[in-house]
Chains A and B, each alone.
Chain A
Amino acid sequence: MEGLNVPLNHILLVSSLLFAIGMLGLMIRRNIIFILMSLEVMLNSAALAFVAAGAHWGQPDGQVVFMLILTVAAAEVAVGLGLVLQVQKRFKTLDMDYANRMRG
């Protein structure tokens, strides 16, 4: 399969848009699950930018970094969802604004 003539800046444009949307989600949502989803979107957009850059230069490094990002995302989601369970248990809500006391 050959990739053909997709302009780099268009891919980056898509990546930027995804990042902005994810960030918007991060800012407007109060539910922790949605916040985690937004984080996934942002990580994904970054991964897209890396892969695009790697493809632009014809090098595998972009994909290597993509895999690292994948690892980070997986670990983050695992721990994050564990935290979601704890928050739900302790506060009986998923509202992040409620969990603002910064104490155990």
Chain B
Amino acid sequence: MLEITLFYVAATIALVATVMAMTRTNAIHALIYLIVSLLAVAVIFFLIGAPFAAALEIVIYAGAIMVLFVFVIMMLNLGERGDQQERQWLQPKIWIGPALLSMLLFVELLYVISALEGPVSATAVSAKEVGLSLFGPYVLAVEIASMLLLAGLVGSFHLGRRYLDRGDLEKEGE
């Protein structure tokens, strides 16, 4: 029973934190809320028997990826000016239409998943099983993922280098 209670608490935290993250005007605040949301999702993972996924969620998502965000936001140094602009952009007339659309989508999804029955499995799926599966049937997907990461690495290096070396950029021209 405790687990179920924990699940609902975690789910509530995740949802609230996400809503907060989406509506903040300060990027750092939004980011903190997002990290909270991700941590809550990690708790859910843990509860539904996926401890390895929960660990990865915390280490890579809430850790590495969010740190990237933090660095970039700090580099951009938006400050108070950015806040005001965000506030100006978040008028009700702007978000009412998209909110309606999102609502509709959610209702449809709800309608689809409402038919599903049954609890999730009682037994946890261990990291070992996941690893066997990864380097068993999914080895090709792992290779593709590694290539994707390499491409991401090269791409971000390329884009970021030009941002940092302002002097070089001026010489290269457009």
Contacts from B to A (Cβ < 8 Å): 3-4, 7, 11, 14-15, 18-19, 21-22, 27, 30-31, 34, 37-38, 41, 44-53, 56-57, 60-61, 64-65, 68-69, 72-73, 75-76, 78, 82, 85-86, 89-90, 94-95, 98-99, 101-103, 105-106, 109-110, 113-114, 116-125, 129-130, 132-134, 138, 141, 145, 148-149, 151-153, 155-160, 162-163, 174
Measured between alpha carbons, how far is A63 from B130 in the docked complex, in Å? 7
- Within the complex, the shortest CB–CB distance from A101 to chain B, in Å, comes to 14
Contact A2 B141 (CB under 8 A): no
Task: Answer whether residue A99 sits at the interface, using C-beta atoms and an 8 A cutoff.
Answer: no
- Within the complex, the shortest CB–CB distance from B26 to chain A, in Å, comes to 11
**Also in contact, A31 and B41, with CB within 8 A (given A5-B4, A20-B103):** no
Out of A18, A55, A57, name the residue touching B14 (CB < 8 Å). Answer: A18
Measured between alpha carbons, how far is A31 from B22 in the docked complex, in Å? 11
Contact B102 A44 (CB under 8 A): no
Contacts from A to B (Cβ < 8 Å): 1-14, 16-25, 27-31, 33-34, 36-38, 40-41, 44, 47-48, 51-52, 54-64, 66-68, 70-79, 81-86, 88-89, 94-95, 104
**Also in contact, A6 and B48, with CB within 8 A (given A51-B53, A86-B163):** yes
Contact A64 B149 (CB under 8 A): no
Out of B4, B18, B117, B158, name the residue touching A41 (CB < 8 Å). Answer: B18
State the total of A-B contacts with C-beta under 8 angstroms. Answer: 267
Residue of A nearest to B113 (CB): A12
Measured between alpha carbons, how far is A14 from B14 in the docked complex, in Å? 9
When distances are taken between beta carbons in the complex, the residues of chain B under 8 Å from A21 are: 15, 18-19, 22, 102
**Also in contact, A1 and B124, with CB within 8 A (given A37-B31, A37-B69, A64-B133):** yes
Contact A8 B44 (CB under 8 A): no
Contact B120 A2 (CB under 8 A): no
When distances are taken between beta carbons in the complex, the residues of chain A under 8 Å from B156 are: 78-79, 81-82
**Also in contact, A64 and B141, with CB within 8 A (given A17-B106, A82-B155, A84-B76):** yes
